[in-house]
Amino acid sequence: MENTIDTIFLNPVYLAIAGVLAIILVFAFIKKIIKLVFTIGVLLVLYVVYLNYTGQEVPQNIDEFKKSVSESVEKVKDVASESLEEVKESTKKIVEKKVGEKVDEVFGD
């Protein structure tokens, strides 16, 4: 490992290549952070537009915003749970019906 590091630092060509790679890595990292910040900003704007569109109060400070997001998440969880239960029941009925048909077909009632 020390030989590799010594080779890189002693040879100017290798040092230039390592420098360029380091710059590319830093640039890629910064680019990803900027994308993340931009995405979060867009999501926040969309959330405020949604609140405004549905007639709900738009939060004025961070604490209100946290409370609003928590309430919205709870609503989504409740709706998703109800939908999931409905899908389970519907699927269960369909499977039971199909199994009954196949059993009747196999045993030739």
Residues 43 and 72 in one domain: no
Residues 36 and 81 in one domain: no
Domain that holds residue 21: 1-58
Residues 53 and 74 in one domain: no
CA angle 103, 104, 107 (to 5 degrees): 80
What is the mean predicted confidence (pLDDT) over 36-45? 94
Residues 19 and 44 in one domain: yes
How many domains does one find in the chain?
A: 2
Q: Could you tell me the pTM of the whole model?
A: 0.52
Q: For 49-70, write each residue's pLDDT tens digit.
A: 988 898 888 888 888 888 888 8
Residues 11 and 52 in one domain: yes
At residue 109, the pLDDT reads 57
Reply yes or no on whether the pLDDT at 3 is more than 90: no
Q: For 6-35, write each residue's pLDDT tens digit.
A: 888 888 999 999 999 999 999 999 999 999
Residues 50 and 10 in one domain: yes
Residues 8 and 47 in one domain: yes
Residues 53 and 1 in one domain: yes
Q: For 64-104, write each residue's pLDDT tens digit.
A: 888 888 888 888 898 899 899 999 999 999 998 888 888 88
* End residue of a domain, out of 28, 43, 58: 58
